[in-house]
């Protein structure tokens, strides 16, 4: 036999051995394979043939000792047992060794169980710590290391409700050195992203192509803080191009404790990014969704004014008498529906929280109640502001000692401090003399009692709604530490704490009056469920993701505060189904001080009124039910029963034409603003820059 044939036979034998030296799970949609060293060797979409696996380790963990922090234990450096148990692949590891700094085996153990469901791969972890004087802080698992990223795939995050990022590796590499040398950036670069902190609205992310993608979901009903692991490692010196994606959980288990998690899933899917919404929403509906239908007036609400009566440094912008006066008159000029009343108490905005006492110099409760009544008799709806978490250190509540034991503490046992740096006409106030707050633990019965009492106060003053500021998300610094043991341990479930009190407040609002509403600031999936409307986080490029996933939620825009770039920004609110938050000069003025915005919003609100059953009451459906032939024209759909609206706008300098195909629907009517024309059959639309068109179709029976 020739050497060439012998070599070929040896290669085939080696290939057969390598195939035998792994375990594989497969169904009709996907396949996953693990080799004998516990590496992910296959993560394949069987419909398209795309394999995302890069033969990287599935996990790593970090632990602390009294002397050292974040000691790394890498999965690829451990001895692991891989076996098939029925319809599962089980990876076991014990007697671990740290990558460096600590000698000898560690009495840690990890069992990782991989199962295949209809449309996703589930990774369940059991972690035990039997090593004295250690705490396992973090488990990064599952990881898809050296991920084989197909050309054209982009990163979809849920930051601010949605964010779509091109050139994934370059973006992560740049994000990883925004704060230079605060991280070991010579080893890897990481995009900081963690649910539910920092405006991350849902516990998932994805790599999305035009016809397929890879979904990462932490379907965790404990709602604990979860890192969305996005790293790039170097393939050569200074070349950070080896992508790793996964989830980071934080067990914080000391010697003698164990921890389990079966929440993390990965799904190679076929279709557009909307499949990621469906994957997440199916879990939401099955596991925890419980939302009441908002009052009708909230559903029909087009926009609200947001005003500060008195600011934190003592300046009055408005007085109670202005509510049924100038505020109401300006509101009518744009056909707005409501007002959010900030800084209505005696000491003003961001002062004396939670001592909300009406301003005696203006007539106290009686004057405020009368102003609200006169305003609402004219058709408006008033929402009264309360802050759900901040306690002013100069407030009577704090100085009386009532805050003792119910505020967040840091990892050294001292109170956590937040501050707000609004300025007046000078610079000293903003730089030095700002307000300082401690943060209330919303699980505390005394604090919950206080928050519930505000519902009674709002109702007694005749308000149509109560508004809880800073209660729709978890801020980056919102961590409460227990320092009673050998190691300080943070509470990493602040989301469930906020959800618990919001549910109680919602139930009390409902019992008070079926027409009374409740709102909160910022969007996070669980917290949005408990309120009737949410003051949102801006016009990020892909808030479409959150709107498509949770189309029933009522969310506002943010940050249109002056008279610039009006048509583009307001058109986007119509396109994406957002209510308009009118916050002129950060709530210090009214929209008549920005006359261009005033005139344009009046036109838009008239259009919303005309098509309210779809633009306000309909379900945001992104690009379902139609196709548009020109990508330079932005188009979205809304559906309600048998009716369909398509909203179109363009930011292009040159006029744009598009042709619509709406199978199964017959054209009915349309409305336009600016440079926009529609053909008689509704199939052709021409738009100049910032032109806006709404086309209505009826389902053919």
Quick: pLDDT tens for 123-160. 999 999 999 999 999 999 999 999 999 999 999 999 99
Question: In the predicted model, what is the mean pLDDT of residues 542-551?
Answer: 97
- Give yes or no for residue 539 having a pLDDT over 90: no
pLDDT of residue 551: 97
Q: Tokens 């633009």 identify what position?
A: 615
pLDDT band at 13 (very low <50, low <70, confident <90, very high): very low
Look at 692 and 3; give whichever has higher pLDDT.
Answer: 692
pLDDT of residue 179: 79
pTM: 0.94
- Give yes or no for residue 543 having a pLDDT over 60: yes
- If you write DSSP's letter for every residue of 287-325 in order, what string do you get? HT---PPPPHHHHT--EEEEEESB-TTS-BS--GGGIII
pLDDT of residue 180: 75
| H-run or E-run covering 6 | helix 3-20
Q: What is the number of other CB atoms lying within 10 angstroms of the CB of residue 396?
A: 12
Instruction: Please provide the average confidence, as pLDDT, over all residues in the chain.
Output: 94
Share of the chain above pLDDT 70, in %: 97
Q: What is the distance between the alpha carbons of residues 133 and 257, in angstroms, rounded to a whole number? A: 12
Q: Which strands, in side-by-side order, build the sheet including 435-439?
A: 390-392, 435-439, 417-420
pLDDT band at 285 (very low <50, low <70, confident <90, very high): very high
Q: What is the distance between the alpha carbons of residues 106 and 527, in angstroms, rounded to a whole number? A: 40
Q: Tokens 């986007």 identify what position?
A: 572
Instruction: State the pairing for strand pair 580-582/303-308.
Output: parallel
- Give yes or no for residue 223 having a pLDDT over 70: yes
pLDDT of residue 11: 40
Question: In the predicted model, what is the mean pLDDT of residues 191-201?
Answer: 93
Domain 619-699 fold is Immunoglobulin-like (2.60.40)
Q: In CATH terms, is domain 296-387+451-479+499-610 a member of 3.20.20.80?
A: yes
- Give yes or no for residue 572 having a pLDDT over 90: yes
pLDDT of residue 19: 47
pLDDT of residue 198: 83
- Give yes or no for residue 485 having a pLDDT over 90: yes
pLDDT of residue 471: 93
pLDDT of residue 4: 45
Q: Which two tokens stand for residue 658?
A: 């598009």
pLDDT band at 14 (very low <50, low <70, confident <90, very high): very low
Q: Do the two domains 296-387+451-479+499-610 and 619-699 of this chain adopt the same fold? A: no
Share of the chain above pLDDT 90, in %: 89
pLDDT of residue 2: 52
- If you write DSSP's letter for every residue of 361-412 in order, what string do you get? GGTHHHHHHHHHHHHHHTT-EEEEEEESSEEETTSHHHHTTTTTTSB-B-TT
227: Cα separation from own chain's centroid = 13
Q: Which two tokens stand for residue 529?
A: 């469920």
Architecture category of domain 23-287 in CATH: Distorted Sandwich (2.70)
pLDDT digits (tens, 9 = 90+) for 380-437: 999 999 999 999 999 999 999 999 999 999 999 999 999 887 888 888 888 888 889 9
pLDDT band at 673 (very low <50, low <70, confident <90, very high): very high
Q: Which one-letter DSSP state was computed for residue 344?
A: -
- Give yes or no for residue 12 having a pLDDT over 80: no
pLDDT band at 313 (very low <50, low <70, confident <90, very high): confident
pLDDT digits (tens, 9 = 90+) for 16-68: 444 447 999 999 999 999 999 999 999 999 999 999 999 999 999 999 999 99
Q: What is the distance between the alpha carbons of residues 240 and 173, in angstroms, rounded to a whole number? A: 6
Q: What is the distance between the alpha carbons of residues 455 and 60, in angstroms, rounded to a whole number? A: 47
Domain boundaries, the chain: 23-287, 296-387+451-479+499-610, 619-699
Instruction: State the pairing for strand pair 239-249/135-144.
Output: antiparallel
pLDDT of residue 684: 97
Of the candidates 644, 647, 569, 581, which has an alpha carbon nearest to the alpha carbon of residue 608?
647
């Amino acid at each position: 036999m020739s050497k060439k044939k012998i070599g070929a036979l040896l290669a085939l034998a080696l290939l057969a051995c390598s195939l035998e030296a792994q375990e594989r799970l497969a169904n009709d949609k996907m396949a996953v394979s693990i080799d004998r060293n516990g590496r992910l060797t296959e993560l394949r979409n069987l419909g398209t043939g795309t394999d995302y696996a890069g033969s990287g380790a599935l996990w790593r963990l970090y632990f602390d000792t009294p002397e050292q922090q974040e000691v790394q234990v890498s999965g690829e450096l451990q001895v692991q047992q891989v076996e098939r148990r029925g319809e599962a692949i089980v990876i076991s590891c014990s007697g671990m060794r740290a990558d460096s700094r600590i000698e000898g085996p560690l009495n840690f153990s990890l069992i990782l169980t991989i199962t295949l469901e209809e449309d996703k791969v589930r990774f369940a972890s059991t972690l035990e710590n039997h090593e004295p004087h250690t705490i396992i802080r973090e488990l990064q698992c599952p990881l898809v290391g050296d991920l084989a990223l197909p050309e054209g795939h982009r990163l979809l995050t849920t930051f601010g409700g949605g964010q779509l990022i091109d050139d994934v590796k370059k973006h992560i590499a740049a994000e990883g050195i925004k704060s230079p040398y605060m991280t070991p950036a010579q080893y890897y670069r990481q995009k900081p992203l963690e649910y539910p902190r920092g405006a991350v609205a849902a516990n998932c992310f994805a790599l999305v192509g035009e016809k397929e993608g890879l979904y990462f979901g932490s379907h965790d009903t404990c709602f604990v803080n979860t890192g969305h692991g996005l790293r790039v490692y170097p393939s050569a010196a200074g070349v950070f191009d080896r992508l790793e994606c996964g989830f980071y959980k934080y067990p914080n288990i000391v010697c003698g404790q164990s921890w389990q998690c079966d929440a993390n899933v990965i799904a190679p899917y076929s279709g557009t990014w909307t499949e990621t919404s469906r994957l997440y929403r199916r879990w939401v509906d099955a596991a925890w969704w419980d939302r009441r239908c908002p009052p009708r007036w909230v559903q029909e609400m087009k926009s609200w004014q947001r005003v500060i009566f008195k600011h934190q440094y003592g300046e009055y912008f408005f007085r109670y008498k202005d509510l049924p006066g100038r505020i109401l008159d300006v509101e009518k000029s744009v056909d707005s529906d409501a007002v959010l009343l900030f800084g209505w108490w005696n000491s003003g905005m961001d002062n004396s929280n939670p001592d909300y006492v009406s301003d005696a110099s203006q007539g106290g409760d009686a004057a405020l109640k009368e102003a609200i009544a006169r305003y609402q008799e004219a058709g408006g709806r008033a929402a009264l502001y309360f802050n759900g978490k901040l306690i002013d250190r100069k407030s009577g509540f704090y100085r009386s000692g009532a805050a003792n034991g119910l505020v967040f503490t840091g990892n050294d046992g001292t109170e956590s401090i937040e501050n707000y740096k609004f300025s007046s006409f000078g610079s000293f106030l903003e730089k030095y003399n700002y307000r300082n707050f401690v943060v209330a633990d919303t699980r505390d019965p005394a604090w919950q009692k206080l928050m519930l009492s505000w519902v009674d106060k709002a109702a007694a003053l005749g308000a149509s709604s109560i508004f809880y500021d800073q209660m729709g998300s978890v801020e980056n610094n919102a961590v409460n530490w227990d320092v009673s043991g050998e190691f300080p341990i943070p509470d990493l479930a602040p989301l469930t704490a906020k959800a618990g009190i919001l549910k109680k407040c919602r139930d009390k609002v409902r019992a008070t009056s079926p027409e009374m509403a409740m709102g909160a600031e910022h969007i996070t999936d669980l917290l949005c469920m408990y309120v009737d409307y949410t003051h949102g986080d801006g016009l990020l490029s892909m808030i479409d993701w959150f709107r498509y996933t949770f189309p029933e939620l009522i969310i506002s825009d943010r940050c249109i505060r002056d008279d610039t770039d009006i048509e583009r920004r307001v058109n986007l609110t119509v396109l994406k189904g957002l209510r308009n938050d009118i916050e002129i000069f950060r709530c210090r003025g009214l929209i008549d001080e920005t006359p261009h915005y005033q005139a344009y919003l009046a036109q838009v609100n008239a259009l919303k009124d005309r098509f309210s059953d779809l633009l306000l009451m309909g379900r945001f459906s992104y690009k379902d039910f139609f196709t548009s032939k020109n990508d330079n024209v932005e188009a979205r759909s809304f559906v309600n029963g048998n009716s369909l609206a398509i909203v179109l706008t363009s930011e292009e300098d040159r006029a744009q034409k598009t042709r619509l195909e709406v199978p199964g629907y017959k054209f009915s009517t349309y409305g336009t603003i600016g440079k926009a024309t529609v053909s008689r059959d509704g199939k052709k639309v021409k738009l100049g820059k910032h032109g806006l068109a709404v086309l209505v179709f009826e389902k053919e029976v």
